[in-house]
Amino acid sequence: MKKRLKTFLPGAVIATSLLLTACNTTPVANSNKTETVDYFANDGLGNALAIVQHPAGVHVDGITYVSYQGPLEDPYVASYNHKTKQWSGPFKAGVSTMGKDPSRTKIDNHGKPTMIIDDLGYIHIFYGGHGGTDRHGANPLGNKHYGENRHSVSKRPYDISEWQEMYTIPVFGTYNQAVKMDNGDIYLFYRHGAHRSDWVYHKSTDHGRTFEPAVSFLKHKKRTDIRADDSWYAWVSKGHGDDIIVSYDYHVCWDYDAGINGRGHTTQRHDAYYMVFNTKTNTWRNVKGEPVTIPVTREHADKTTLVARTGKNWTFNGSAHLDENGYPHISTNIGRDLGHKTGGPKQTSYFRWNGSEWLGGNPVNTQARKDNLDTRGDFKIHSPTDITFTLGYEESNTGIIADFNSQDGGKTFTKTKELLRRPGAQWALSALIDNAHPDARMIVAEKQRNSNWHRIYLVGDKGPIGRTKSDANVLKPDAVINMTKKK
């Protein structure tokens, strides 16, 4: 291919054939076959990863399986064998309806894949949704926006090379989160549509081949005091035994001709909440063991599941995990509204339950707070007072992935280990990989400001896992590397 496309608006169909040719699993010829790089692929598109869509990676029997958003917003899957130190893929695991519409000039980014591996070894990914569209008919639990929530399964156990689409879930979902219980049951949680929609879950008792109807657990509804709807963002993961834990924040979903200072719809979110779902008894409770009635309204959430108020500060919901006592620890990103639609930079902050009250609220990276910079990440609990966060942040125009540890229950955190550093970079991060190998704890995408193509890394205690350069450069040299961002 001799012609280059100098500018490209992501999603334009005129670039589809060029990208399909440019982005495949065939290695690029390289004069030095042994030269290695510390990324495993260079075809991550846009915000290729996020904390909320999780797990994005799973470790099973010495192999780490990872997923991310690649060319044309389709889901891609790769794997790394820790014994042989060999990579496989990335392979395209499904076809998203997003990223191919010539009328859209921005990358949507809501259809990033979520991964789970069933007890038979088949790999499942859920992807492609941002609420559905009018052609899908009425959304019974909310409104619509774009995309189509989809489900693909590997054709063979533990084999990422071939996939089949499954028609098992409604098209209206976004922010997929998957949980596998000890008995093999799979639960899929997501928001059933765009902003003004319920959050729901489906249960599968046959290894994800069929799912029961959606059950609402967070309720959207119109407010009567202001021109807005109650809405939510949630994080869901396995607790102890038969429990699933849920942390969430509240979204003031303003009408498009209302909002603060007439700004219309914004990403305004506040506060932190927590509750527990017992999958055996099919009941919900708060941190004190008191019953919670679903679907939870804002009023009921404030009375029964509130962790902390954030006042005028805006939030971006993080993750939640349990310590050895079964007590929850929560991260949420908190920052000021700086006067524009997306608010201001938010710093990862930490809360924990000590058996009688919620403690914390302190930022993990205090320097980022002083410099008013954004941080995102996930954390691991070693003991009730020993916690390690892995954060992505910027420092002097340099992107850094580093560990921060607290030995005093979150009162203070100290930077302990730097895992990755790249000049000029910002980061898109996954949540911690499910059952992570210590050498492969998190997937991260290096976001450079002059391109929508991003390198994807698998990072662990020893830093990123390397790969032969010819295999990692899955974008051929004549591909459109410098996709210009829409101004």
Residues forming beta bridges with residue 154, ordered by sequence position: 163
pLDDT at 175 over 70: yes
Contact 114, 178 (CB under 8 A): yes
DSSP string, 10-37: TT-GGGHHHHHHHBSSSPPP-S-TT-EE
List the domains of the chain with CATH numbers. 27-472 (2.120.10)
Entry field: residues in the chain: 487
Confidence at 464, pLDDT banded by 50, 70, 90: very high
pLDDT at 355 over 50: yes
pLDDT at 475: 85
pLDDT at 279: 98
**Which of 28-32, 225-229, 482-486 has the highest mean predicted lDDT (pLDDT)?**
225-229
Confidence at 369, pLDDT banded by 50, 70, 90: confident
Confidence at 352, pLDDT banded by 50, 70, 90: very high
Confidence at 476, pLDDT banded by 50, 70, 90: low
pLDDT at 343: 79
Is 68 designated active site?
no
- State how beta strands 453-460 and 442-448 pair: antiparallel
Closest CA to 346 of 249, 469, 479, 263: 249
pLDDT at 455: 97
- How many other C-beta atoms can be found within 10 angstroms of the C-beta atom of residue 365? 23
pLDDT at 2: 33
Range scoring the smallest mean pLDDT among 19-33, 87-101, 180-194: 19-33
Q: In the predicted model, what is the mean pLDDT of residues 272-279?
A: 98
> Residue 267, by phi and psi: left (phi above 0), alpha (psi -120 to 50) or beta?
alpha
Confidence at 323, pLDDT banded by 50, 70, 90: very high
- How many other C-beta atoms can be found within 10 angstroms of the C-beta atom of residue 224? 5
**Residue type (1 letter), 455:** R
Contact 112, 56 (CB under 8 A): yes
Residues forming beta bridges with residue 330, ordered by sequence position: 320, 351
Is 175 designated active site?
yes
Confidence at 30, pLDDT banded by 50, 70, 90: very low
Q: What CA–CA distance (Å, rounded) separates 416 from 406? A: 10
- Strand ranges, E, within 323-374: 328-335, 347-353, 358-363
Q: Report pLDDT digits (tens) over 190-226.
A: 999 999 999 999 999 999 999 999 999 999 999 999 9
pLDDT at 338: 65
Range scoring the smallest mean pLDDT among 129-138, 201-210, 341-350: 341-350
Tokens of 300: 């009921």
Contact 464, 472 (CB under 8 A): no
Closest CA to 237 of 141, 169, 168, 329: 329
The secondary structure of residue 273, as a DSSP letter, is E
Q: What CA–CA distance (Å, rounded) separates 237 from 220? A: 21
Q: Give the DSSP H or E segment for 303.
A: helix 298-304
Contact 136, 172 (CB under 8 A): yes
- How many other C-beta atoms can be found within 10 angstroms of the C-beta atom of residue 303? 12
Range scoring the smallest mean pLDDT among 10-24, 231-245, 259-273, 411-425: 10-24
Contact 69, 45 (CB under 8 A): yes
For the chain, give the mean pLDDT: 90
pLDDT at 158 over 70: yes
Range scoring the smallest mean pLDDT among 74-83, 154-163, 200-209, 359-368: 359-368
Pick the catalytic residue from 54, 59, 110, 192: 110
Tokens of 172: 């209206």
pLDDT at 351: 98
Pick the catalytic residue from 122, 146, 175, 190: 175
